Amino acid sequence: MTGLARDGIASARRIVVKVGSSSISGENVGQIAPLVDALASAHARGAEVVLVSSGAIATGMPYLALDARPDDLATQQAAASVGQNILIYRYQESLRRYRIVAGQVLLTAGDLENSTHRLNAQRAMERLLGLRILPIVNENDTVATHEIRFGDNDRLAAMVAELTGADLLVLLSDVDALYTRPPHLPGAERIAHVPFGDELAGIEIGSIGRAGVGTGGAETKVSAARIAAASGTGVLVTATSLVDEALAGEPVGTWFEPATD
């Protein structure tokens, strides 16, 4: 296989974009519109776009009068049930400006580990993309249990990229790139390029995201990037605020080179 090169991002055929809870909930809910602008721009040039969006629990929390992410599974499930509905509504309202229809796809880890369920999910995604629908994927938090959870949606996004044979996976967070050490520390330098198989020896991987809302971090993004890169998908890690530049192929973020054979 021939993996996507960084200079080919702007012409990627099939793209999976993952956005975290902290980027599109609470005080950052206003980032949904510019995110949709960037997705719609890629869609308009003919790309097939899949959005993997966290945020169901975080979005539902205010409606359950919760000021912190609940610890117990039942309340997480209740918050997700309320929040998923509102989250999809917000995306669809924004997509309506471009006459793009969203399709909701909720998955559990068990769905992608069971061959029959995996095939069904793959077939549904292919049909949605063929119809020019924009699938919005999230973990099915309302029925998922601690034992079968993905753990974070970075891993889910990598598995969706593999499932759909995506050329490009863009992992978005609150930080513009991976750094040689946590970016708030002195001496931190942006890592622009990670060759396939590079173990990032000596790099201090810190956390990414707003505490108390999301579950992912820089470590999960590196792990997810390696999963996707191993399946031949090029991966870009950058900030949600830079998604338009990222999809246009500008030199932002951290690029993980995909496997080529």
Binding residue ranges: 18, 54, 141, 153, 173-174
With helix as H, strand as E and coil as C, how does 43-101 read?
HHCCCEEEEEECCHHHHHHHHHCCCCCCCCHHHHHHHHHHHHHHHHHHHHHHHHHHCCC
Counted residue by residue, the chain has a size of 261
Task: List, as residue ranges, the binding site for ATP.
Answer: 18, 173-174
Strands annotated E in 81-132: 102-107
Rg of the chain over CA atoms, in angstroms? 17
3-state secondary structure at position 254: strand
- Asked if residue 190 lies in contact with residue 157, where contact means CB atoms within 8 angstroms, the answer is no
Distances (CA, A) of 208 to 20, 69, 205: 10, 17, 9
Taken in order 187, 169, 135, 159, the sign of the CA dihedral is negative
Task: List, as residue ranges, the binding site for substrate.
Answer: 54, 141, 153
With residue 238 as reference, give the H or E element that holds it: strand 234-239
Nearest to 91 by CA among 45, 40, 130: 40
The number of angstroms, rounded, from the C-alpha of 46 to the middle of its chain's C-alpha atoms is 20
